[in-house]
């Protein structure tokens, strides 16, 4: 089965063609250059740019895969969560293609895409597993029972993990998006330089909170400036990063222990973070838990994971109807 995936939930316009779970093409048009000058995504600019990019991006995915639109068996597009104006561009485009070309269409939850993105790689986990999805919009823990049944166990109470990386990079004036630049800067830093707070919340909570950590970094920066001390960027970045990954890893392992599940999977933009992967591998090894991470290209937003999740949803639930609408908050929780 040939699946065309379309993703436009935030600031990347993406299209992919999959044959089963093999990726024939995965194209992404990034808007980072537009939003970097504002230190974050400007929704109105994002949707306008999606309008310009969507058709060329889909056409180049088809061309790269060496297929025609008429060869496609299923069109899958992100239905939510995300920015409504951005979602509407990809979702409406997909519905129009489906209607005109009489190709079945399925609306896909972006979270389901991240939860399943690991299947685009060579090593595939067995269900059930615990999934940590950490990106610019969410830090959530799910229990994935199978490819279409997900239970939301923990969620962000304020800033998502990726959002914390972006906001801290902005206050350190390191650029946008913050995750990649902070993880690069942290390579030469000392993670013990500042003991930034870890928000464990109540003892058994699987929820996350990163807004206090962001304020702690701001306080440190202000103190250093007041004392006319130079900012030690690598050390600050390494200390901040350690505080984030420490909590993400510990709570995900707690979820696996509590539900007696022997496999952990990660996904979302923050799952590209090398220190997060290293700490997961280390602690999962100690716990006797299997650990899987998606290939780097499929951590951040991409359309291949949408095509994949769409094919699973279509197999179980059939096609979506053309009167379905986009949503900003995920029904997955
Ligand atoms: O999944 P994604 O593309 O979706 C959203 O748009 O939310 O994730 C983007 C987020 C950004 O916040 C970015 O700073 C973060 O993922 N990110 C990282 C890394 N690469 C991307 N965070 C930490 N370390 C990284 N290496």
User: How many whole angstroms from 135 Cα to the centroid of ligand 1?
Assistant: 5
Atom of ligand 1 nearest to the CA of 41: 6
User: How many whole angstroms from 26 Cα to the centroid of ligand 1?
Assistant: 18
pLDDT at 333 over 80: no
Percent of the chain with pLDDT over 70: 100
> What is the three-class DSSP state of 270?
helix
What phi and psi, each to the nearest 5 degrees, are found at residue 200?
-80, -15
Domain spanning 2-115+299-317: CATH 3.40.50.720:
no
Q: Given this model, what pLDDT does residue 30 score?
A: 93
**If you write DSSP's letter for every residue of 78-130 in order, what string do you get?**
EEESS-HHHHHHHHHHHHHHHHHHT--EEEEEHHHHHHHGGGGSSS-PPSSEE
Averaged pLDDT, 182-191 = 98
Superfamily of domain 122-293: ATPase, nucleotide binding domain (3.30.420.40)
User: How many whole angstroms from 29 Cα to the centroid of ligand 1?
Assistant: 16
Q: Given this model, what pLDDT does residue 39 score?
A: 75
Q: What is the mean pLDDT of the chain?
A: 96
Q: Report whether 303 contacts 16 (CB < 8 A).
A: yes
Which of the listed residues 11, 113, 136, 186 should we mutate to test ligand 1's pocket, taking the one with most ligand atoms within 8 A of CB? 136
- Name every protein residue with a CB atom under 6 angstroms from any ligand 1 atom: 10, 135-137, 162-163, 165-166, 177-180, 183, 268-270, 272-273, 300-301
pLDDT at 288 over 80: yes
Atom of ligand 1 nearest to the CA of 162: 12
The domain locations on the chain are 2-115+299-317, 122-293
Q: Which of 314, 315, 294 is nearest to 304 (CA)?
A: 294
Half-sphere exposure in the Cβ direction for 230 (13 Å, CA): 4
Please determine whether the domains at 2-115+299-317 and 122-293 fall in the same fold group of CATH.
yes
Count CB atoms within 10 A of the CB of residue 318.
10
pLDDT (tens digit per residue) in 224-271: 999 999 999 999 999 999 999 999 999 999 999 999 999 999 999 999
Q: Given this model, what pLDDT does residue 17 score?
A: 98
Q: Given this model, what pLDDT does residue 223 score?
A: 97
Q: Given this model, what pLDDT does residue 187 score?
A: 97
User: How many whole angstroms from 158 Cα to the centroid of ligand 1?
Assistant: 16
């Amino acid at each position: 089965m040939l699946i065309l995936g379309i993703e436009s939930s935030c600031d990347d316009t993406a299209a992919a063609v999959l044959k089963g779970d093999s990726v024939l093409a995965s194209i992404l048009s990034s808007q980072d250059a537009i939003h970097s000058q504002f230190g974050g995504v400007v929704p109105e600019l994002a949707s306008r740019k999606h309008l310009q990019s969507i058709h060329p991006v889909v056409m180049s995915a088809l061309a790269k895969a060496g297929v025609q639109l008429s060869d496609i068996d299923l069109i899958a597009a992100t239905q939510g969560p995300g920015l409504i104006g951005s979602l509407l561009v990809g979702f409406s485009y997909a519905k129009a293609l489906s209607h005109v070309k009489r190709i079945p269409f399925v609306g896909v939850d972006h979270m389901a895409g991240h939860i399943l993105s690991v299947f685009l790689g060579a090593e595939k986990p067995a269900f059930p597993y615990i999934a940590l999805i950490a990106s610019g919009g969410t830090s959530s823990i799910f229990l994935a029972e199978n490819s279409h049944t997900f239970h939301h166990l923990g969620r962000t109470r304020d800033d998502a993990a990726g959002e914390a990386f972006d906001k801290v990079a902005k206050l350190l004036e390191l650029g946008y998006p913050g995750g990649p630049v902070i993880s690069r800067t942290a390579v030469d830093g000392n993670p013990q330089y500042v003991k930034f707070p870890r928000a464990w919340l109540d003892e058994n909570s699987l929820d996350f909170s990163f807004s206090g950590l962001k304020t702690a970094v701001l306080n440190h920066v202000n103190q250093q400036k007041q004392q006319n001390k130079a900012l030690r960027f690598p050390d600050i970045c390494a200390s901040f990063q350690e505080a984030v990954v420490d909590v993400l890893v510990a709570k995900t392992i707690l979820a696996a222990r509590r539900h007696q599940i022997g496999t952990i999977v990660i996904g979302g933009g923050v799952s590209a973070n090398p220190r997060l992967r290293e700490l997961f591998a280390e602690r999962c090894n100690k716990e006797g838990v299997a650990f899987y991470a998606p290939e780097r290209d499929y951590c951040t937003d991409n359309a291949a994971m949408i095509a994949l999740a769409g094919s699973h949803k279509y197999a179980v639930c059939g096609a979506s109807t053309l009167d379905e609408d986009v949503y900003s908050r995920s029904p997955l929780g």
